[in-house]
Amino acid sequence: MSFFSRLFKSNAAGEENNYLPQGSYLNPYSTLGELDFHLISEGRHERLWDVLGAHIKRDADGSLIGTAFSVWAPNAQAVSLVGDHNFWDRNTHPMVRAGSTGIWEIFVADVGPNTCYKFAICTINGTWVDHADPMARATEHPPRTASVVTESNYNWNDSQWMEKRKSYQPWRSPVSVYEVHAGSWRPGLSYLQMADELVAYVLEQGFTHVEFLPITEHPYSPSWGYQVTSFFAPTSRFGSPDEFRFLVDALHQAGIGVILDWVPAHFPKDEWALAKFDGTALYEHADPRLGEHPDWGTLIFNFGRNEVRNFLVASALYWLEEFHIDGLRVDAVASMLYLDYSRKEGEWLPNKFGGRENLEAVQLLQEATSTAYKHHQGIMMIAEESTAWGGVTKETSSNGLGFGFKWNMGWMHDTLEYLQHEPIHRMFHHNEITFSILYAWSENFMLPLSHDEVVHGKGSLVNKFPGDRWQKLATLRALYGFMWAHPGKKLLFMGQEFAQNNEWNQEVGLQWYLTEFAEHNGVQKALADINMSYKGLPSMWEKDIFADGFQWIVGDDGAGNTLAFVRWSDKGIPVVCVTNFSPVPHEQYSLRLPVSGVWREVVNTDDLKYGGSGITNNSFAVDVDTNLYAKVRIPPLATVWFERV
């Protein structure tokens, strides 16, 4: 009988094991109990990170005892712990299989924080492969790939924010999101430095939330974080997990929410990570028609497996619980929902009813959203979903996916398509700028101008528009005024707030020097003022998800490239938005205002301080009983908001 055969024989029955190396213990400090095994097998362990992975044990006075390790690898012949502590020798610390669950355990004395480790797994065919811990809560700095033993000693200072969040209703609140790639916002900053510079900047610009492209550890930087290898570890590129907590805490104390991009759709094929973890397709589907993504060269999770769904739901909960995250934006939902996504005929398998819907992925998304909302009131679960799938933001009890918001990709594409036409041709495409209102309340929408629109040869936002330099900048300012008035929450990718010239390049960061030039600084000021006005006007957000919060005034002036509408608050207070997407000013434009009173401009993107032409309106009175129409000045390529005094 081999060494490993003798080691693992009868251990599940609790017989004494005489083959454990000195300093290693089987069960005294196990993180798993009978209930844990049951919940894991059912796929219902909502705090999976508490029982799997590496857990430091200390005695009553805080002195280190050692670390307990556990990993799920049901088809492995043997598993050993390797790392700094044993010179990466798989013969030193073999692990023991715990019952029939497929979980392997070991406790190693005197091993503590900052120890690098992996699990050496002997596959069915006898091959040994070293894998990072799927439940690792810290990692080595890429390109190194080991997991790191860690524990949190962080004391949070955001209790006021967290208490207030319990009663927060985001669909009835101002939500203006600044989308950030942490590595290229200002290259070289750590989490601690971001806690100073990013917080101050977001406050200055008036955004309500920051959304980070995936912070979860990823070895390949050009993936921007979307090829995740550690679903429970913040990337070590910018500091430790507790230093990331410090950043979140600083944002909260400044009154800024934090949203993370979360990627449950796929994972990379790196052999040291999740791929063929125990020598079999454990986390992924074995059949490539279900288990491989043809476009991205990645593997697709086996959403039908209890343990895999548990792993992903626990990952979502981990960020919300352990890092006080206020929302998760779920990436690539469309790729999860359709079995034939980006596949040709014969390259996919239908579901049990013969359809193209991925029923197991639907179940995973419903579990993730419902469980997240159950435990964390006031958060946002946001879907990046680009198809006509019905009920994305419908409650799971009504067979919806249960998200709080869905990115309105249709609005984004139609609006940018319209604005890329020469103004003289826009009259023939007026439906592109008005069509979104026809479905604006079919879901709870967020309007995105995201990173996807300024990469891969698409150029920056400002350079998508026709005309000379002044017209491009004016169009961008007008777009922001229109977007912030349109029903739906707002999201803007970093750099576009000051009209970055180049498309985004994560290798070089943003063109911050441009803000020293008046034309770019003007756009930056305009957006800051729009944000501040938006937050102060309940009409612009209280009734976002209700059709009676919106009323057309002018929807058919295609020849003038102009549209006007009213936004209403709960108390019936109106704000009128007028946008002129032509380069010609409209003097004495007839505008039918909804109520009598004195009206004034609250936003005008053509203001001289923004680099505009300075066509503005003085306050004016109107009596709708005697004169239905006011005569106003509408600047060229500009948006104006009017409020009643």
Residues taking part in catalysis? 331, 384
What is the Rg, in whole angstroms, of the alpha carbon atoms belonging to the chain? 28
Q: 228: closest CA among 283, 282, 187, 180?
A: 283
Q: Cβ contacts of residue 510 below 8 Å, gap of 6+?
A: 184, 185, 186, 494, 495, 500, 504
Whole-number Å distance between alpha carbons of 295 and 88: 36
Instruction: State which amino acid sits at residue 376.
Output: H
Question: Exposed, middle or buried by CB within 10 Å (0-12, 13-18, 19+), for 363?
Answer: middle
Two tokens, residue 620: 């004016």
Please report how many Cα atoms fall inside a 13 Å half-sphere around the Cα of residue 348, on the Cβ side.
22
- Coil/strand/helix, residue 72: strand
Q: 158: closest CA among 244, 256, 238?
A: 256
Q: What's the Cα-to-Cα distance from 225 to each of 146, 283, 524, rounded to whole Å?
A: 17, 19, 27
Concatenated DSSP letters for 100-141? TTTEEEEEEET--TT-EEEEEEE-TTS-EEEE--TT-S-BPP
- Coil/strand/helix, residue 396: helix
Other Cβ atoms closer than 10 A to 374: 10
| H helix intervals, 166-271 | 182-185, 191-205, 241-253
The single residue listed with the structure tokens 């032509």 is: 582
Q: In angstroms, how far apart are the furthest CA atoms of the chain?
A: 101
Whole-number Å distance between alpha carbons of 311 and 306: 9
- Coil/strand/helix, residue 62: coil
Whole-number Å distance between alpha carbons of 499 and 522: 9
Q: What is the 3-state secondary structure (H, E, C) of 472-540?
A: HHHHHHHHHHHHHHCCCEEEEECCHHHCCCCCCCCCCCCCHHHHHCHHHHHHHHHHHHHHHHHHHCHHH
- The three-point CA angle 23-26-30 to 5° equals 110
- CA quadruple 168, 170, 175, 181: dihedral sign: positive
Q: 493: closest CA among 605, 421, 483?
A: 483
Instruction: State which amino acid sits at residue 102.
Output: G
